């Protein structure tokens, strides 16, 4: 049901013009009225990015950043039982004004200690009823909703709630880098943590031991899963929440950013009927996303794919996924042992952490299964030596491993504000781009910073990949326990393997990122 919207123009915008069928309002000139602000619930405005501007002839006029938000304006009218009318404004200004107005009101609405508030610092002796009361305060609920909503809007991968001596810092990890976004009062800390625990179905009375939980929320119509970890610190409990956006997990191989030659070789590798394929790299480098894309690529109604994960971050249709539970004895090794008896064609093990898991995975490959897993190594050839260091017999590694792909994620230059750039000569030299012909050359670009990228110059990330395939020479080097450097040299010279840094150099020359970004994640590599 839609609210009836009068067609006459409102008196706010002497400055308004038509855009996409809407009146366009400059929020640097037009200011929201107190009457309009009082009509709109703060949590609704924050969640839906609807900015009330004025009441004209009994109609609430609200600014939105995109025509798609018109539905939220209609919902606001139903909520407050009043006709509404939408005008269009800059999305950045809409967001800025909403946070400026409603966040300040949330904080201003917090009762102080002198008011007999329950929002006081909690310790191990705080009563459970007091914790529940704190978590139920309207201001606390609004604050937690705001933290989640803003994180999703900023495309954050993690939320950090960090208590210190006198204040609390809330930081988001956006494009791999932490960014501070707000500092709630210290007296809100226990209440915010208790609210998060309630949402994650954790024990709010337990404040001495680490706890894990999971939250399911819907923001702007998108279902979002949040994985929560809470640990005690000297200044109180610290929460880190991983945002699991299903849209990220549904990427295909083409969308990962592999270059065409690498993608073609990788597709050949994952089409083999059996063997072990490893994705390597540090935490947060996109290994799981790559493996999920690989499983989706090879899935068919005639294929039985099973996974063992810690935890299952994304549910993939048509694939059997088993979460490990060490507390009851369901480890990677035990889970892997069981699913081998489930008649699988393809197996994914979330991570090979020890020799037992590695041995079972390799034996599964030797008995005719295609096995995917991850390892923490600096480069792709390092996967071989890592398995040997775990205690796996060299002949088993040589006969089962068919390839490894190392990856990193670097921040992408903002497409809205990137401009030609002249990197410093020492940066070019570190990339191997020596020679005066590169100084001042046109291909280099850098974001100058704008509202779209939060003035960082970067928006989004691009993957760098190093694909290492196993041939007879690598098998002989494996049995001889040769170093990973020897294997890398052979792969580069014989198969033309492009290293992580080499892939990064191409991304820099294409203007996708900067030398500093590539060197930040590939400093240990050589071209």
Instruction: List the chain pLDDT tens, one digit each, 527 residues.
Output: 333 333 333 444 444 455 556 788 888 888 888 888 888 887 788 777 889 999 988 899 999 888 878 888 888 888 888 999 998 888 878 877 887 787 666 655 554 444 444 444 555 555 667 677 777 777 788 788 888 888 887 889 999 999 998 889 999 999 989 998 888 888 888 889 999 999 999 998 888 899 999 898 887 667 788 999 999 999 999 999 999 876 666 778 888 889 999 999 999 999 999 999 999 999 888 898 899 999 999 999 999 999 998 878 788 889 999 988 887 888 888 888 888 889 999 999 989 989 999 999 999 999 999 999 999 998 999 999 999 999 999 999 999 999 999 999 999 999 989 998 888 888 888 888 875 555 555 678 999 888 778 788 999 899 999 999 999 999 999 999 999 999 999 999 999 999 999 999 999 999 999 999 999 988 644 44
Q: Can you tell me the distance from the alpha carbon of 360 to that of 348, in angstroms, rounded to the nearest whole number?
A: 12
Coil, strand or helix: which one is 265? helix
pLDDT at position 267: 95
**Token digits for 341?**
């008896």
- Cα 484 vs. chain centroid, distance in angstroms? 31
pLDDT at position 46: 74
pLDDT at position 111: 47
pLDDT at position 104: 63
User: Cβ distance 87 to 25 under 8 Å?
Assistant: yes
Total residues found in the chain within this entry:
527
Distant-in-sequence, close-in-space partners of 476: CB < 8 Å, separation ≥ 6: 398
Q: Can you tell me the distance from the alpha carbon of 209 to that of 187, in angstroms, rounded to the nearest whole number?
A: 21
Q: Can you tell me the distance from the alpha carbon of 455 to that of 458, in angstroms, rounded to the nearest whole number?
A: 8
Q: Domain 18-89 is classified in which CATH homologous superfamily?
A: Type II secretion system, protein E, N-terminal domain (3.30.300.160)
Domain boundaries, the chain: 18-89, 134-245, 250-521
Beta strands at 156-163 and 84-88: parallel, antiparallel or unpaired: unpaired
List phi, psi (to 5°) of 194. -65, -40
Beta strands at 22-24 and 17-19: parallel, antiparallel or unpaired: antiparallel
* pTM exceeds cut of 0.85: no
**Token digits for 174?**
């956006």
Distant-in-sequence, close-in-space partners of 88: CB < 8 Å, separation ≥ 6: 19, 20, 22, 23, 24, 25, 63, 64, 65, 66, 67
**DSSP 8-state symbol, 25:** -
Bond preceding residue 311 cis, omega within 30 of 0: yes
List phi, psi (to 5°) of 384. -65, -50
**Angle of the 472-479 helix axis to the 484-495 helix axis, nearest 10:** 170
User: Cβ distance 140 to 191 under 8 Å?
Assistant: yes
pLDDT at position 525: 47
* CATH of the domain spanning 250-521: 3.40.50.300
Distant-in-sequence, close-in-space partners of 392: CB < 8 Å, separation ≥ 6: 355, 358, 359, 362
Q: Do domains 134-245 and 250-521 have the same CATH topology?
A: no
Q: Which CATH architecture has domain 134-245?
A: 2-Layer Sandwich (3.30)
**DSSP 8-state symbol, 218:** E
User: Quick one: which of 200, 246, 192, 193 has its CA closest to 219?
Assistant: 246
Distant-in-sequence, close-in-space partners of 221: CB < 8 Å, separation ≥ 6: none
Burial category of 18 from C-beta neighbours within 10 Å (exposed 0-12, middle 13-18, buried 19 and up): exposed
Alpha helix locations (H) across 49-137?
A: 70-80, 91-98, 104-108, 128-135
User: Quick one: which of 339, 343, 410, 326 has its CA closest to 373?
Assistant: 339
Give 425-490 as a 3 state SS string.
HHHHHHCCCCCHHHCCCCCCEEECCCHHHCCCCEEEEEEEEEEEECCHHHHHHHHCCCCHHHHHHH
pLDDT at position 451: 72
């Amino acid at each position: 049901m839609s609210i009836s919207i009068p067609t006459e123009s409102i008196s706010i915008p002497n400055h308004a013009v038509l855009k996409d069928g809407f009146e366009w309002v400059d929020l640097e000139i037009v200011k929201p009225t107190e009457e309009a602000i009082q009509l709109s619930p703060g949590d609704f405005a924050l969640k839906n990015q609807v900015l009330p501007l004025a009441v004209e002839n009994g109609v609430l006029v609200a600014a939105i950043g995109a025509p798609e938000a018109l539905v939220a304006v209609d919902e606001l009218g139903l909520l407050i039982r009043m006709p509404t009318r939408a005008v269009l404004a800059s999305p950045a200004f809409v967001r800025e004004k909403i946070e400026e107005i409603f966040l300040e009101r949330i904080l201003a609405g917090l009762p102080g200690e002198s008011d007999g508030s329950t929002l006081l610092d909690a310790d191990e002796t705080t009563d459970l009823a007091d914790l529940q009361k704190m978590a139920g305060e309207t201001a606390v609920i609004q604050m937690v909703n705001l933290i989640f909503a803003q994180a999703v809007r900023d495309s954050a991968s993690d939320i950090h709630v960090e208590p210190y001596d006198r204040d609390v810092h809330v930081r988001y990890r956006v494009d791999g880098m932490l960014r501070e976004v707000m500092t709630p009062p210290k007296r809100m800390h226990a209440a915010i943590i208790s609210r998060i625990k309630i949402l994650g179905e954790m024990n709010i009375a337990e404040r001495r031991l680490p706890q894990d939980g999971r939250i399911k929320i819907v923001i702007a119509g998108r279902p979002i899963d949040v994985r929560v970890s809470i640990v005690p610190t000297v200044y109180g409990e610290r929460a880190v929440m991983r945002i699991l956006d299903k849209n990220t997990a549904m990427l295909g191989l083409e969308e990962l950013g592999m270059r065409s030659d690498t993608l073609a070789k990788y597709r050949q590798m994952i089409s083999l009927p059996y063997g072990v394929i490893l994705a390597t790299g540090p935490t947060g480098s996109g290994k799981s996303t790559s493996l999920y894309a690989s499983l989706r690529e090879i899935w068919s109604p005639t294929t039985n794919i099973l996974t063992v994960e810690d935890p299952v971050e994304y549910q993939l249709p048509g694939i059997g996924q088993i979460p490990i539970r060490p507390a009851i004895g369901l480890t990677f090794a035990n889970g892997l042992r069981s699913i081998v008896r489930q008649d699988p064609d393809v197996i994914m093990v979330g991570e090979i952490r020890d020799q037992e898991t590695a041995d079972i995975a390799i034996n599964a490959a030797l008995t005719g299964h295609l096995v995917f897993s991850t390892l923490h190594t600096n480069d792709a050839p390092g996967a071989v030596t890592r398995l040997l260091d775990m205690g796996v017999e060299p002949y088993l590694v040589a006969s089962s491993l068919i390839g490894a792909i190392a990856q990193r994620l670097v921040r992408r230059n903002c497409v809205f504000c990137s401009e030609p750039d002249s990197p410093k000569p020492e940066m070019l030299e570190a990339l191997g781009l020596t020679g005066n012909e590169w100084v001042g050359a046109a291909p280099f670009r850098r974001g100058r910073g704008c509202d779209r990228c939060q003035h960082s110059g970067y928006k989004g990330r691009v993957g760098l990949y190093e694909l290492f395939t196993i041939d007879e020479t690598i098998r002989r080097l494996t049995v001889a326990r040769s170093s990973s450097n020897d294997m890398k040299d052979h792969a580069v010279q014989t198969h033309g393997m492009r290293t992580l840094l080499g892939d990064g150099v191409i991304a820099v020359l294409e203007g996708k990122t900067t030398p500093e970004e590539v060197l930040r994640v590939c400093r240990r590599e050589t071209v």
